[in-house]
Amino acid sequence: MNNKLNSYGFGTSAGADVAVRNRVLRNTYWLLAISMVPTVLGAWIGVVTGFTALISGSPMLSALLFLGVAFGFMFAIEKTKNSSMGVVLLLAFTFFMGLMLARILSLTLSYSNGPALIMYAFGGTATVFAVMASIATVSKRDFSGLAKFLFVGVILLILASLANIWLQLPALMITLSVIAIAIFSLFILIDVQRVVNGGETNYVTATLAIYLDVYNVFVNLLALLGIAGGNRD
């Protein structure tokens, strides 16, 4: 029966579409896994070289510099996403993002239970990703409508985080971290589902989006664990 349908042109495009979606999803997961290597390398270099001391002198300037470099990378990756250069820039970007982890990792490692907190944050992030990716894969519900509201939330988070550099309010920091984990967890759901449903056909762009989601969940979860469970003894 399938052969008969295919002979009239039915079923062929649907099968091809599924194959394309599966290939993009598979390549996205592979590139996401590979991107963790330069991230870990950048984080290690940042910690052992004391890179955090270079960026802690002026927190506001450091934050603005970070945003400028990050958005510059993202713009360049989007422009080159259809070539091998897009992959190279993506991996360079993940190295940079790892380097920027040095500050929070150094702070966490100053606790006696710092390594355990990092592992808890890693495990928690992996769990969030697994749950959200599974929902995105099996759910028939379209979650893309949430994207606009979440994007507004991200903008407000950035503005509030910049403001808290001056305010230094612990309660605000905790609140922002909890909200950030919720927002970027939902973004994992949306970004993975976009690939699954065929809305995103470029695995470089897909990897960049999901990487940023995972990165932000990890950073904010680690911050919360440090506040709640950091042991100075």
- Domain ranges for the chain, please list them: 17-229
Give 55-111 pLDDT, tens digit per residue. Answer: 666 677 778 888 899 999 999 999 999 999 999 999 999 999 999 998 899 889 989
Nearest to 91 by CA among 51, 36, 141: 36
- pLDDT at position 3 is 44
Model confidence band, residue 18 (pLDDT cutoffs 50, 70, 90): confident
pLDDT over 60 at 2, yes or no:
no
Work out whether the CA dihedral 151, 75, 45, 55 comes out positive or negative: negative
Give 48-69 pLDDT, tens digit per residue. Answer: 887 766 666 667 777 888 889 9
Q: Which residues 6+ apart lie within 8 Å of 214 measured at CB?
A: 32, 125, 129, 184, 188
Per-residue CA distances from 70 to 121, 184, 219 (Å) = 23, 17, 16
- Global pTM value: 0.88
Model confidence band, residue 12 (pLDDT cutoffs 50, 70, 90): very low
Give 128-165 pLDDT, tens digit per residue. Answer: 999 999 999 998 898 988 999 999 999 999 899 888 88
Rounded (5°) CA angle 61-63-68: 95
